[in-house]
Amino acid sequence: MAAQQNDVDMLRHLYNMALTRGKAYSWLDHLSNQIGGRLSGSVQAEQAIAYTQKELEALGLDRVWLQPVMVPKWVRGAAEFAYIESAPGNTTNVPICALGGSVPTPAGGIKAPVIEVQGLEELQALGREAVEGKIVFFNRPMDPTQINTFRAYAGCVDQRASGAAEAGMLGAVGVIVRSMNLRLDDYPHTGSLRYGDTPEAMRIPAAAISTNGAELLSTTLKLNPDIQFYFRQSCRQYDDVPSYNVIGEIRGSTYPEEILLVGGHLDSWDLGDGSHDDGAGCVQSMEVLRLFMETGYRPRRTLRVVLFMNEENGLRGGRGYAEAAAQKGEKHLFALESDSGGFTPRGFSFDCTDEAFAQIAAWKPLFEPYLIHQFDRGGSGADIGPLKPQGPILAGLRPDTQRYFDYHHAETDTFSAINRRELELGAATMAALVYLVDRYGDALAVSTGGQ
């Protein structure tokens, strides 16, 4: 019973410190407002690396270092432009943005008839005869009936990721994709696409259109199937460039060879400043280590923060980290990622054995005073996913998701959309879970096969 009361007191202390003397909000202010969007390979990404390295060093951690990783360099170029032409000289401008990794249009843009589809299966059913020479308009919306908005996202993101490759193979000249957004607004949302093995000659330009723009285009097509669509974008893919993951750690006092990892991805898209995706996750992860330093709690296991580079358009940082860990024979007992925005925390999802989950779920009553109710089985995070073959417990912080896709990959993802208290509650929640894993990790190590 004394041990349980110690846990209650420690969690209360972590939350109190985060809510009264937290640093996450000021760190994010600098990342967002002084540096801005941090697309892999950009000057801003390198500035973010230097800034977070300096801030971690100032905490007095046992070690801070940069881990080299080669990343893709894609540049958006001049602002994109698009319009619907219902008759010669009768045009209506609509907001678009190039999808990450897209090839450019010709300098003069592309104008062609439009064919609307609801997904990749419908595209394939139509075949080359219906698609060749046209701009394919993917207009399957996110399902508003899904309470878990990430499930709604997963239900339609394939058209953004693979639409250009599939349409290009059928002879289309371009692709326009409805933005992954649950509300109707005028902000297009970018995101990565994959050409895969598509030959260079069949790689066609692809852009996202705002949800209001998509509604207008769809309605106009129904009224007049012979309309034309024009768009122009000047994006460009360059050769890979060197970059870094930023890593800091507190060395474990008893089991230094067992690593507990917290992290987020330091890169972001370039339209906004990446406050929710994923500046929030980075500063929350940094705050976990700061809270332990401030409380004087010395973890029994090594606590490591990793700010991963290139999650958005390549996952090179996450894969490179996992490869290096395997080569060194490092033992990761646990990894926790925050990459779902800086909103009010609701709980965690866990990718682990039944035995490990049963032990972790027993801690749920400790979190309920902070309105953390969700302890679910499920995914964790893209950056820590490559560690799975090595056997650790993987976890993801799960904030309230209802507003996340208003901002995700759009110019609206800015510091003004961050609530300080929500951000700090998320950091404290992460620190509380890490504390419990560190304290009771002996039993967890057995349930994960000693990894």
Among all residues, which ones are annotated catalytic? 311
Place of tokens 């002879």: 171
CA proximity to 259, closest of 387, 126, 408 = 387
Cα angle 40, 45, 50; round to 5:
140
| Residue whose pair of structure tokens reads 């202390």 in the numeric block | 13
Written as six digits, the tokens of 207 are 């852009």
Distance CA 358, CA 440 (A): 13
Query: How far separated are the first and last CA of the chain, in Å rounded?
Result: 29
Work out the widest C-alpha separation in the chain, in whole angstroms: 80
The residues facing 68 across adjacent strands are: 244
Is the N-terminal amide bond of 278 cis, ω within 30° of 0?
yes
Spatial CA neighbour of 391 closest among 359, 358, 361, 352 = 352
Task: Provide the residue count of the chain.
Answer: 451
Cβ 121 vs Cβ 264: under 8 Å? no
Q: What separation in angstroms does the CA of 445 have from each of 164, 303, 348, 430?
A: 45, 15, 19, 19
Q: How far apart are alpha carbons 306 and 82 in whole angstroms?
A: 40
- Tokens 């490869």 locate to 323
The three-state DSSP-derived secondary structure of 328-366 is HCCEEEEEEECCCCCCCEEEEEEECCHHHHHHHHCCHHH
Cβ proximity of 123 and 131 under 8 Å = yes
From the list 318, 150, 68, 114, the residue with the least C-alpha distance to 230 is: 114
SS3 90: strand
